[in-house]
Amino acid sequence: MSMNVAIDGPAGAGKSTIAKKVAKEMGFIYVDTGAMYRSLALYFIRQGIDKDDEKRISEAVKDCNVTIDYVNGEQQVILNGENVTGLIRTEEVGNMASASSAFKDVRTKLVSLQQDLAKSKDVIMDGRDIGTCVLPEAQVKVFLTASVDERASRRYKELVEKGEKPDLEKIKKDIEERDYRDSHRENSPLRQAEDAVLVDSSNMTIEEVVNAITKLCKDKM
Ligand code: DC
């Protein structure tokens, strides 16, 4: 049986940074499920669809073919034959992804793709519903979180490093709104699985978090 590691948590908790490093350490494949929701969101934006228009979004999902590929160990998301990996990391796409991922048809499409990936391979998968819905049998489940202030300040620094001039208060407000939407939706809301280990990274270094999760994985092997 393949080894499955689920990492869930709110936006900006450092899931992808941590999961990538643990994957490297353990020789597992890293699957970023948020990137899949973002690629669909990009399609909806390009079609000019409103983020709350469930009917049009459900229709549009039928026109989307999402696959993932790996180049030098980095996940690439392919949307209808186009590699959209470099286009999905904007706040606009993130907000559309948060809104549209609440709809059943969007989730159904991506959850089955994610489950297929984990069936035959050792994976570490991050998202919001991995431990609760996508991989309920995962051998290791982690709920990775950090305070809103800490997550906003990390995001702020990231944007400054990219040469942008971000507004910290706006980032904080966006994170709070996203947390609320992700955890209050009807379909697969963000919540800690009963058997998940809670890791609050507010006062931990990246290395400390990676070591803690790697240890959980090794203990299960
Ligand atoms: O992790 P992220 O910021 O790239 O995710 C973007 C949005 O996608 C997030 O706000 C909620 C949604 N998402 C989800 O509903 N389920 C997942 N497994 C991953 C992401």
The per-residue pLDDT for range 117-163, each reduced to its tens digit, is 999 899 999 999 999 999 999 999 999 999 999 999 999 999 999 99
Quote the CA–CA distance of 35 and 214 in Å, as a whole number.
23
**Which residue's CA lies nearest to atom 20 of ligand 1?**
34
The per-residue pLDDT for range 2-41, each reduced to its tens digit, is 999 999 999 999 999 999 999 999 999 999 999 999 999 9
Amino acid 34: pLDDT = 96
**Which residue's CA lies nearest to atom 2 of ligand 1?**
34
Amino acid 68: pLDDT = 94
Residue from 128, 177, 182 whose mutation best tests the ligand 1 pocket (most atoms within 8 A of CB): 128
Amino acid 198: pLDDT = 98
CA-to-CA separations, 62 to 2, 37, 95, 110, in angstroms, rounded: 30, 14, 21, 12
**What's the predicted TM-score (pTM) here?**
0.94
The per-residue pLDDT for range 53-88, each reduced to its tens digit, is 999 999 999 999 999 999 998 999 999 999 999 999
Q: Which amino acid is at 150?
A: E
Amino acid 73: pLDDT = 87
Comparing CA positions, the residue from 34, 21, 14, 32 lying closest to residue 202 is: 14
**Ligand 1 shell residues, CB under 6 Å:** 11, 33-34, 37-38, 94, 97-98, 101, 127-130, 178, 182
Comparing CA positions, the residue from 12, 36, 25, 11 lying closest to residue 140 is: 25
Q: What does DSSP say about strands 4-8 and 82-83: parallel, antiparallel, or unpaired?
A: unpaired
**Which residue's CA lies nearest to atom 9 of ligand 1?**
98
**Which residue's CA lies nearest to atom 14 of ligand 1?**
128
**Which residue's CA lies nearest to atom 17 of ligand 1?**
127
Instruction: Report residue 1's pLDDT band, with 50, 70 and 90 as the boundaries.
Output: confident
Helix, coil or strand: residue 82: strand
Residue from 75, 98, 125, 174 whose mutation best tests the ligand 1 pocket (most atoms within 8 A of CB): 98
